Amino acid sequence: MSQFTLNLLVICASFALYIGIAIYCRAKSTAEFYAANRGVGPVMNGMATAADWMSAASFISMAGLIAFTGYDNSTYLMGWTGGYVLLALLLAPYLRKFGKFTVPEFIGDRFYSRTARIIGVICLLIVSITYVIGQMTGVGVTFSRYLEVSNATGLWIGAALVFCYAVLGGMKGITYTQVAQYVVLIIAYTIPAVFISLQLTGNFLPPLGLFGTHEGSGVAFLAQLDGLVTDLGFRAYTEHHNSTLDMVLFTMALMIGTAGLPHVIIRFFTVPKVSDARKSAGWALVFIALLYTVAPAVGSMARFNLTATMWPGAAQGETFSQPAVSLADIETSEDLAWMRNWQTTGLLNWEDKNGDGLIQYYNDGAAAQATALAAARTSGDQAAIDAAQAAYDARLAETHAALPGAPAAEQNWVGNELTTVNNDIMVLANPEIANLPGWVIAIVAAGGLAAALSTAAGLLLAISGAVSHDLIKGTLRPNISEKGELMAARVSMAASILVATLLGLNPPGFAAQTVALAFGLAASSIFPVLMMGIFSKRVGKEGAIAGMIAGMLSTILYIFAYKGWFFIAGTNMFPDTPDAWLFGISPASFGTVGAVINFAVAFGVSAVSKRPPAHVQELVESIRVPRGAGGAVAH
Amino acid sequence: MSDRQSSNAYWQANLRIIYICLAIWALVSYGFGIILRPLLSGISVGGTDLGFWFAQQGSILCFIALIFFYTWRMNRLDAEHGVDE
């Protein structure tokens, strides 16, 4: 059976399962549509939350981010899991006790203000829609690689599929579909990791293999990896290089951003009891940790295997004991077919710059100079080309002199010849790099799709709830019937699928930056207002509204100032480099500062405005005690 | 003891547990994983140091333990104060 047929078979089988579940669990009431009738047990809900949370970014991108940066990107591992502690301790049990359907509804009731509720809806929509676009793009890429269709066709197939089970099933259908998707994605992630860990370290548990001994050389695996990458002029894998302050702030932004993501929070509305909300956050983290403790092993081992592919000597720990991989091998060898497959997607590329028939992969440290040289060549000005060429050669000579023990001079290297390696291919290409059987590759494809689709469905549910429940029922047409509201929820979900697909078809080229925006906004607007709503009786509507606006605006302005207005290239006011950042704080980390601004403004304004009315004080008293949650009704 | 006093005592006890849990939460991630890593560099773990292990494995395991500890402790507290479901 060909690899293509195998991929098709496994992917179609997984889809048949999801749609079957959705049809079986069709939602009939608004309570079922928004909160699955609050009948989902904590373990099941934890598994669904894990699938909901782990998106294409966790499944496809994260290990690649760690692979090429090493220790410094541990921020993703800590940040995307530590948020669950905040959820379990500070938000989930109280919001479950409150007993309504959406996050803006809590903001509106607690701060007795329709304006606050609408601002909440706006934050939620910006956060969720930017996220859905990222998922749809991921679906398009995965389909086009594995089903060999165009990116656009892949996107429409994905959209149709999400439409089927999210619109019909609502929260009830989505919950059980997500449980199935979790099982598919965790199997897909761990099977190749177990094989690769066994090959490299002889330990079948990847988290232990990561700290184990490399089979080929008998040296500790991470020490071996450090040695190989520094031989090639890269920074040591396990060392800390970036600013400590920025690392702390970025981790914090990811943690409070996670706790403030509406589609994660609404999952805790579906459990029967307050104590189940706490327990469910714990189970969610257990299921997430299964992937997150494996991811650093996947990243480091993928980096090792890539290096050993480019430098066959590296497999025994001696980088330069054998010459680099030859161009002829890359173009014809059966083992390296994956390189040719990925080259067609444009995510991997190479060029024999010095014409010696070998592809030397190393850090030439001259990426900026190479870009300048290419720009000079397009301008056609001979003097500029000569100057750029001289700068490039000088930089190259500098790196070559610093390379430890590299035969750069005698072998006449003229720059890194593995010209493109996209972070995102590491997880998907991993089984092929390690020569694993075809069925493993097919399962990884199905797992990537499960991760993207389950998150897209959860986000769409949060969006449709905000539109139909908060905007239409809460503001525009309070008298709408339950049937009408259910219809409005489904129509708004279908509309958001359409919008996300259209935006995914014409990616504005900012998928990566928008993630910073989504987390920054969730961290700076939603998380602080929810926390103050529960833990302070003093903060009233004036404080909450002023705080949300201050937190949101400062974060948006800071990101746009460095990334360009609405991410349009060239409109940024300052260069996006660590030297230009305020106190060295990167735009992606600014959500933490935005949250601090939000808290400060809210408490400042509350100190000079009226205390919240008595019924709100009682509401806060009541959400603080678990008893009576079962009696809290939908309306 | 009136209802109000009891619920106040319940809330204060809850806050104390939250403070303790958050202190550990910050210590294992921001502390051992990032800021205090140079201090732990003497303790080697599989080719690197303890700080690296906390950043990529240990903090996550501690987070799980913390949530289940909090759940267990709060269930007991809920029962003691008669506010369980």
Render pLDDT for A152-191 as a digit per residue (tens, 0 to 9): 888 888 888 888 777 777 777 788 888 999 999 999 999 9
Q: For the segment A46-75, what is each residue's pLDDT rounded down to a tens digit?
A: 999 999 898 888 888 889 889 999 999 999
**Residue A27 identity (one-letter amino acid):** A
Question: Using the beta-carbon criterion (under 8 Å), do B35 and A210 form an inter-chain contact?
Answer: no
Token pair of A13 as six digits? 């089988």
Helix (H) or strand (E) holding A351: none
Contact A223 B48 (CB under 8 A): yes
Q: In this structure, what token pair is assigned to residue A627?
A: 């008893």
> Contact at 8 Å (CB) between A42 and A283?
yes
Checking if the pLDDT of A107 tops 90, the result is yes
Tokens 């959400």 locate to A623
Q: Among A138, A46, A50, which Cα is nearest to A424's?
A: A138
pLDDT over 70 percentage in chain A: 96
Give the pLDDT confidence of A117-138 residue by residue, as tens digits: 999 999 898 888 878 877 777 7
Length of chain A: 635
pLDDT at residue number A512: 56
Please provide the average confidence, as pLDDT, over all residues in chain A. 86
Buried b or exposed e, range A575-594, using 16+ CB within 10 angstroms: eeeeeebeeebbbbbbbbbb
> Higher pLDDT residue, A423 or A357?
A357
Is there a contact between A211 and B63 if contact means CB atoms under 8 Å apart? Answer: no
Q: Which residues pair with B44 in a beta bridge?
A: B49
What residues in A contact B49, CB-CB < 8 Å?
238
- Alpha-carbon span B45 to A590, nearest angstrom: 33
pLDDT score of A634: 43
Question: So what's the pLDDT on residue B4?
Answer: 67
> Which of A82, A89, A289 minimises the CB distance to B70?
A89
Q: Is the pLDDT of residue A427 over 70?
A: yes
Task: Render pLDDT for A514-543 as a digit per residue (tens, 0 to 9).
Answer: 676 788 889 999 999 999 999 999 999 999
**What's the CA gap between A443 and A6, in Å, rounded?**
9
Q: What is the pLDDT of residues A243-283, one digit of tens each?
A: 899 999 999 999 999 999 999 998 888 888 899 999 999 99
Q: Which of A72, A86, A211 to mutate to test the interface with B (most CBs of B within 10 A)?
A: A211
pLDDT of residue A516: 66
A240 with B83: Cβ contact below 8 A: no
What's the confidence (pLDDT) of residue A510?
46
Q: How far is B51 from chain A (nearest CA, A)?
A: 10
Nearest to B47 among A223, A273, A296 (CB): A223
The pLDDT assigned to A304 comes to 93
Q: Which of B14, B53, B63 sits opposite A85 (nearest CB)?
A: B63
Between chains, do B33 and A285 touch, taking CB under 8 Å as contact?
Answer: no
Encoding tokens for residue B29?
């991630």
Three-class DSSP category at A358: strand
Model confidence pLDDT, tens digit, residues A180-196: 999 999 999 999 999 99
Cα dihedral A315, A317, A318, A324 sign: positive
B4: nearest CA partner in chain A = A621
Who wins on pLDDT, A252 or A563?
A252
What pLDDT score does A601 carry? 97
CA–CA dist A244, A457 (Å, integer): 36
Question: Which band of pLDDT confidence, cut at 50, 70 and 90, is reported for residue A635?
Answer: very low
What's the pLDDT at A632?
42
Angle between helix A244-259 and A527-535 (nearest 10): 70
Q: Does residue A544 register a pLDDT over 90?
A: yes
Task: Evaluate if residue A208 carries a pLDDT over 70.
Answer: yes
Intervals of chain B under pLDDT 70: 1-4
User: Looking at residues A537-566, what average pLDDT do you find?
Assistant: 89
Q: pLDDT value at position B1?
A: 44
- The Cα A193–Cα A206 span in angstroms is 6
Q: How far is A15 from chain B (nearest CA, A)?
A: 32
Is the predicted pLDDT of residue A633 greater than 50, yes or no? no
Tell me the angle at which helices A151-162 and A114-146 cross, rounded to the nearest 10 degrees: 130
Residues of A in contact with B45 (CB under 8 A): 211
CA angle (A72, A218, A212) in 5-degree steps: 45
Distance CA A472, CA A480 (A): 8
Q: Which residue has the higher pLDDT, A566 or A16?
A: A16
Q: How far apart are the first and last CA of chain A?
A: 56
pLDDT at A631 over 60: no
Residue A420 has what DSSP assignment? E
Range list of β-strands (E), A92-147: none
Of B25, B56, B84, the CB nearest to A627: B84
Mark yes or no for CB contact A278/B67 under 8 Å. yes
- Can you give the pLDDT at residue A91? 94
Q: Tell me what pLDDT residue A130 has.
A: 78
Report the residue from A212, A251, A626 with minimal CB separation from B78.
A626
Residue B78 contacts by C-beta under 8 Å, 6 or more apart in sequence? A275, A626, A627, B84, B85
Give CA–CA dist A103/A228, Å, rounded: 49
Looking from the CA of A409 toward its CB, the CA atoms found within 13 Å total 8
The H-or-E segment that residue A223 falls in is helix A221-231
Is the CB of B7 less than 8 angstroms away from the CB of A278?
Answer: no
Among A349-363, A393-407, A432-446, the range scoring the smallest mean pLDDT is A393-407
Q: Are B40 and A238 contacting, i.e. CB atoms less than 8 angstroms apart?
A: no
Name the residue facing A248 among B11, B35, B70 (closest C-beta). Answer: B35
pLDDT at A565 over 50: yes
In the predicted structure, residue A37 carries a pLDDT above the cut 60: yes
Determine which of A58, A71, A94, A280 to mutate to test the interface with B (most B C-beta atoms within 10 Å). A71
- pTM for this one? 0.91
- Closest C-alpha among A332, A330, A321, A324 to residue A307: A324
Determine whether the interchain pair A624/B63 forms a contact, defined as Cβ–Cβ distance below 8 Å: no
- Interchain CB distance below 8 Å, A211 and B47: yes
Phi (first) and psi of residue A213, to 5 degrees: -110, 140
CA-to-CA distance for A81 and A49, rounded, in angstroms?
Answer: 12
ipTM of the complex: 0.95
Q: Which of residues 21-40 of B touch A (CB under 8 A)?
A: 21-22, 25, 29-30, 33-35, 37
Q: In whole angstroms, what separates CA A79 from the centre of its chain?
A: 11
SS3 for A348? Answer: strand
C-alpha A111/C-alpha A544 separation (Å) is 7
If DSSP codes are grouped into helix, strand and coil, which group holds residue A417? Answer: coil
